[in-house]
Structure 1
Amino acid sequence: MKKRRLVAILATVAVVASLFAGCGGKPENKDNKAAQEQKKDETKKSDIKIGLSTDEGGLNDKSFNQAADMGIKKAEKEFGFEYKALESTKKENFVPHLQTLSTGANSNLTFAIGYQMAEALAEVAKSAQDKNFAIVDFAPDKPEDVLKNVQYLRFNDHEGSFLVGVIAAKTSKTGKIGFIGGKQSPLIGKFEAGYIAGARAINPNIKVDVRYADSFSDSNKGYELAKAEYGSGCDIVYHAAGGVGLGLFKATKEIKDSGKQVWAIGVDQDQVLTVTDANKKPMYADIILTSMIKRVDTATYEAVKEVVEGKFQGGKIRTFSLKENGVGIAPTSRGQIPDDVKDIVKQNVSKEVITLVDKYEAAIKEGKIKVPEKPEDAKKFTTDFKAE
């Protein structure tokens, strides 16, 4: 009897022990597996290498090169990976810099910033078909020229420029406004065309003085052209010229300080905020009327995010339009001003003009207005849409 009771007790203890072992063992295995997966994931992310080659404007152009860099740095902070940027100050740098950045087992994505790098990118991408690339501001005209390992990131610059053209025409007192482009090309022509069309939507008789710097970095040339345009009667000048625009701002400041009412319009970023002095304070808050925002930072961030998630889409042309909030006007023009600069930065565009801009923006998004992409078409632009 005692023997049977002892056997029963031992059996019970064994069952209970096995149950506890089972309960304790499974979570431990899951935890270990989760930890291993996390470690594997972290290793995978840390092994990722992202590269960027600027065009002649460089990383501190306060414009689209800087915006591209900002988008990648945002992703770097969020996901953690190795990032390297090279400044290509001349055309001869394009191919070797792209080759340097795309070399190595863990080189996952290399950015070429600007349409001027299109040929160099095609050359390098064709010779390194196991690597991923992306280019800002360019897409092939022919489908057969689209490379499977390249993502093309382009923007409807003409749509955003239309809106600042509306602002310029409504604000101008002289009936004459100016435009300074970097280098003549179909891309910069879109900025010019949209600006002219937007201005003509408000005033069909407005005059637009158009000049090109043949550079995206020569601020002295920007200063010289701006002085000439203001001297010809313009009271507002919009630039699409990268670092050249810094010369425009300098000239505008000098003329405004002399007592004349003139304004500059920035590009790519909210340049009221991004063009700063040595103390990181806005330098030209009193002379930059608005800026045409181009979300290059969003484009580069999203391309990197796709790589991190293993979803990069090579061979794709992605267009960032007004409808997608890929382009638009500066947030500060809508009164969205950071607290730390409210003592310096003001809303330079009146609320009445912003209301008008919103109506034109909605019309473009709804397809009621088709903004021309070529200057020759913009000069003949008319619209039946009435916002006033």
Structure 2
Amino acid sequence: MKKSLILILASMMVLTFALAGCGTGSDTDDNGADENGAENGVAEDPTRVGLVLSTGGLGDQSFNDAAYRGLEQAEQDLGIEFDYIEPEDSAEDENALRRFAEQDYDLVIGVGFQMQDTLKEVAEDMDHINFAIVDGGYAEIPDNVATLNFAQHEGSFLAGALAALVTEVNTIGFMGGVESALITQFQAGFEQGATHVNPDVDIDVRYVGDFGDIARGRETARGQVERGADVIYHAAGGSGTGLFEVAEDEEIYAIGVDSNQNMVAPGYVIASMLKRVDTAVYSITESVVNDAFEGGKDYIFDLSDDGVGLTSLTDLDIEEEDAAETERITQEQLEAIQEMKQSVTAEHAETIEELRQQIISGEIVVDTE
């Protein structure tokens, strides 16, 4: 009797192991891959992305922060891993780019046109690595490099039109960071938009000479106010923080750039020209994850795909509400933003939308210079 029981138990154990060996578990497919696509239940290595930020680094509330947000979203949605380096000086860019490439990162991203020559040199030396550059441009793009560019002149046209509609003294200002082919596109679009709605508007154009000098940004903006400007648009990176401080002190209006900067000086920033660096960084990262990266190509993000544009002139944006929920601004400051929209910009929303559609359709052509 005891011997028969032992034989029965042994037979059951053999049957159990046999069934397990047949791959009948619900977490694997017929090829032995689990529900995440890894073969034999072993997870595939995640895509690794290295981000080299422009001088000014995180906290610029502009394009560096936007690039970082794009990778944070990719980490959440796509399961990537990423690391970043904040060079203190552009002379450190090459070492930073090479560090990621030598560690065989799947994608290395450089932020800012000041890095474009260095990135190209590193990419040509490390041609087995995928690279992308935000705001980069080449006569001939290397096969392993994707350039991520934006129609900033189109978005700036809308910013200029809004400034010219809002000014009460018929004088507005443009404050750039470093005068260059890229930043003059912001200036050109702004000037065209302003004169399109008001041919007689005066535009005071000044350059800080730096993207990360708040004090010089403050000094530059104060000079523009002294010359009569009551609405100033900046394309000056971290130096733009100086403009926001002046806007609050002098009670004039500012227009932010790249990211939603309406929360920096609540009630005094009438809009921000969004340059969706986060969207571009996410998009190129997704292409690497999906093994669909195309090098040697220039990707352009414009008004037609919301790659550029203005923050809402009528309603609170998600970023503004989130800033209040996370206590980065107070409820009173959130209300100041909403009040500003209702009393200052909402009446111009229809005009700005008409101009946006005319640019998309080609009825209005915005020049880059």
TM-score under structure 1 normalisation? 0.82
Once residues 169 and 359 of structure 1 are traced to their aligned partners in structure 2, the CA distance between those partners, rounded to angstroms, is 16
Residue 343 (1) aligns with residue 343 (2): no
Name the CA distance, whole Å, in 2 between partners of 1:162 and 1:62: 22
Aligned partners of 2:182 and 2:144: how far apart in 1? 23
The residue correspondences of 1:224-373 to structure 2 (distance < 5 A) are 224-256=219-251, 262-273=252-263, 275=264, 284-331=265-312, 333-338=313-318, 339=321, 340=325, 342-346=334-338, 347-348=340-341, 349-373=344-368
SS in 1 for 2:94: helix
Q: How many Å separate the matches in 2 of 1:169 and 1:343?
A: 25
- Counting only pairs closer than 5 Å after superposition, residues 1-388 of structure 1 correspond to structure 2 as 27-28=24-25, 30=29, 33-35=32-34, 38-40=37-39, 43-46=43-46, 48-105=47-104, 107-140=105-138, 142=139, 145-256=140-251, 262-273=252-263, 275=264, 284-331=265-312, 333-338=313-318, 339=321, 340=325, 342-346=334-338, 347-348=340-341, 349-374=344-369
Tell me, what secondary structure is at the counterpart of 1:71? Answer: helix
The one-letter amino acid paired with 1:133 is: F
Q: Distance in 1 between matches of 2:22 and 2:99?
A: 50
d(CA) in 2 for partners of 1:334 and 1:190?
A: 27
Structure 1's unaligned 5+ residue stretches are: 1-20, 257-261, 276-283, 375-388
CA distances 1:186-232 after superposition (whole Å, capped 9, x unpaired):
10000000000000011111110000011000010110011100000
SS in 1 for 2:58: coil
Instruction: State, as a whole percentage, how many aligned pairs show the same letter.
Output: 36
Residue 228 of structure 1 aligns with an amino acid whose one-letter code is: G
Q: Is the 8 A contact 2:36 2:43 kept in 1?
A: no
Do the aligned residues in 1 keep the contact of 2:48 with 2:82 (CA within 8 Å)? yes
Partner residue, 1:16 = none
How far did 1:32 drift? 7.1
Cα distance change, pair 232–110 in 1 and its aligned pair in 2 (3 A): same
What's the CA shift for 1:272?
1.2
**Distance in 2 between the 1:266 and 1:96 partners?**
32
Matched position secondary structure for 1:271: coil
Q: Is this contact kept in 2: 1:268–1:291, CA < 8 A?
A: yes
Higher mean Cα deviation, 191-200 or 71-80?
Answer: 71-80
Deviations 1:34-62 (A, max 9, x none): 3286334973342x211011111212110
Query: Contact between 2:176 and 2:234, CA under 8 Å: does it hold in 1?
Result: yes
The answer to whether the Cα contact below 8 Å between 1:156 and 1:319 also exists between their aligned partners in 2 is yes
Counterparts in 2 of 1:130 and 1:210: CA distance versus 1, 3 Å: same
Once the two structures are superposed, what CA deviation does each residue of 1:346-383 show, in whole Å capped at 9, x if it has no partner?
15343220100001001000000111111xxxxxxxxx
CA change 1:373–1:42 in 2 (3 A) is: farther
Letter in 1 for 2:317: I
Partner Cα distance (1:151, 1:83) in 2: 18
For the 8 Å contact 1:45–1:80, the answer to whether it is kept is no
Q: Is the CA contact 2:29–2:35 (under 8 Å) kept in the aligned structure 1?
A: no
Q: 1:295 deviation in Å?
A: 0.5
Change in CA separation of 1:229 and 1:31 when aligned onto 2, cut-off 3 Å: same
Runs of 5+ consecutive residues of structure 2 not aligned to the other structure: 1-17, 326-330
Assess, with a 3 A threshold, how the Cα gap between structure 1 residues 30 and 209 changes in structure 2: closer, same or farther.
closer
TM-score, normalised to structure 2's length? 0.86
* CA radius of gyration, larger in: 1
Distance 1:320 1:174, change over 3 A: same
- Alignment length (residue pairs): 334
- Alignment root-mean-square deviation, CA: 2.1
Could you say what secondary structure the match of 1:345 adopts? helix
Secondary structure of the equivalent of 1:204? coil
